[in-house]
């Protein structure tokens, strides 16, 4: 099947590359000409494990193409909209890129074209896209909602081995054609689920907001554990054995970030208010997350009796999670800002997101020092803060850490380390909800 993908961000590039790997003829379109030229040279504009070699091989074999014009839409059977839907100040998802993409593809649509909304969009957007395009073209087209459920850091694997494929459409013909597109993923188990456009949009928001709820819930449990002396790791293991609860998204930490959860939580709250309702649970999820992003620094301030002026702290990890260079809404931002405002100096290390973080901090006017070696960053520093759960941080040389720091103190925002071990080695150790005995 011939496909056009509008947008080569995280979702668009993964979608286009993986469809090409399945044998489809795919053109990924982006208005950034320089970015398109980079991709033609085999350079992946984002860090996602396994994506770059897949992109290179499919481009070389002629199944994957890159363009900054919309000519390919004329021959495409399905056109995927994979553009950003950022949050406005009030939490509403901004759809200007969606409608801008519609304006761009409208002159190229043919009778029978399927416009697939891959972007995460508010409930009712599919219908708005349909009405918008009707005002732009006389061709007969279909609108399908096909939300993505990709985790940054494992997006290629998630696409190739999906747990479910949601197809939202009011036209049976269009739904059947999109199911045919996904046929290679249904060979062992049928994973496609058909529903209305509106239900597909709600399913995406409900899924992400439920996962965000689990995270905020465990972060509140961890904070209570800190108060009463329980160990959240023991509690987590205790409740995860209940099959109704499960084990995923129960790890306390410095708060969630990234391109999805913060934006989708805000959007669902806005949608509820827009329709005369309140989504009180999700409102609380967002509030807890805001507090959690400040929680690790509160431990730093308490230890140093609110006197951080002139002290130096090191952040290990600035990406919002491991295996990505994405710093959107990362807890490292709140951490660095809070330390700077308290008069401290900030150093940091991250294997993939360092340049992105340094650039953002510069734009915010927050001075930070980037280090290529995680141990060099520690020299003479007053404390180490672990923000991201990169594998290279999970089993470090603690003697090396101790020899480099001015004071042997670790603030472990991901609960990576064995409490007994680090205490026996002479560290002062703080974690999130772990009993320090």
Q: Which residues are catalytic?
A: 260
* Alpha carbon distance 361, 242 (integer Å): 42
Continuous segment of H or E residues that includes residue 129: helix 125-134
CB 325 within 8 A of CB 156: no
What backbone phi and psi angles, to 5 degrees, belong to 112? Answer: 95, -5
Is residue 421 classed as helix, strand or coil in its secondary structure? helix
* Alpha carbon distance 16, 67 (integer Å): 13
* Alpha carbon distance 208, 201 (integer Å): 11
């Amino acid at each position: 099947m011939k496909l056009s993908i509008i947008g080569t961000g995280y979702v668009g590039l993964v979608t286009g590359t993986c469809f090409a790997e399945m044998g489809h003829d795919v053109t990924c379109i982006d208005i950034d000409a320089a970015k398109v030229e980079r991709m033609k040279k085999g350079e992946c504009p984002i860090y996602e494990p396994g994506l770059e070699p897949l992109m290179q091989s499919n481009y070389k074999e002629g199944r994957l193409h890159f363009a900054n014009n919309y000519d390919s839409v004329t021959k495409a059977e399905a056109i995927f909209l994979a553009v950003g839907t950022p949050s406005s100040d009030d939490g509403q998802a901004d759809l200007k890129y969606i409608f801008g993409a519609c304006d761009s593809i409208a002159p190229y649509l043919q009778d029978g074209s399927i416009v697939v909304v891959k972007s995460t969009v508010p409930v009712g957007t599919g219908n708005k896209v349909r009405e918008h395009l009707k005002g732009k073209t006389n061709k007969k087209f279909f609108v399908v909602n096909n939300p993505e459920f990709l985790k940054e850091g494992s997006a290629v694997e998630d696409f190739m081995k999906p747990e479910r494929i949601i197809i939202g459409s009011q036209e049976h013909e269009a739904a059947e054609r999109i199911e045919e597109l996904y046929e290679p993923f249904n060979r062992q188990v049928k994973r496609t689920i058909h529903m209305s456009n509106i239900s597909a949009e709600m399913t995406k928001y409900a899924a992400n907001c439920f996962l965000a709820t689990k995270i905020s819930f465990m972060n509140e449990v961890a904070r209570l554990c800190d108060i009463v002396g329980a160990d959240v790791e023991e509690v987590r293991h205790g409740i995860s054995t209940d099959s109704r609860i499960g084990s995923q998204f129960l790890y306390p930490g410095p708060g969630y970030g990234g391109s999805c959860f913060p934006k989708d939580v805000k959007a669902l709250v806005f949608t509820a208010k827009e329709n005369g309702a309140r989504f009180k649970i999700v409102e609380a999820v967002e509030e807890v997350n805001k507090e959690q992003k400040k929680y690790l620094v509160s431990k730093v301030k308490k230890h140093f009796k609110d006197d951080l002026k002139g002290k130096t702290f090191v952040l290990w990890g600035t990406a919002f999670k491991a295996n990505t260079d994405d710093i959107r809404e990362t807890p490292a931002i709140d951490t660095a800002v809070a330390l700077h405002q308290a008069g401290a100096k900030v150093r940091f290390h991250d294997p993939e997101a360092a340049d992105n973080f340094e650039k953002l901090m510069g734009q915010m006017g927050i001075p930070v020092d980037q280090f290529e070696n995680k141990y060099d960053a520690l020299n003479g520093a007053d404390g180490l803060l672990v923000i991201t759960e990169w594998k290279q941080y999970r089993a470090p040389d603690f003697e090396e850490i101790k020899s480099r720091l001015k004071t042997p103190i670790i603030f472990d925002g991901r609960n990576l380390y064995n409490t007994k071990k680090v205490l026996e080695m002479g560290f002062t150790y703080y974690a999130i909800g772990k009993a320090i005995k």
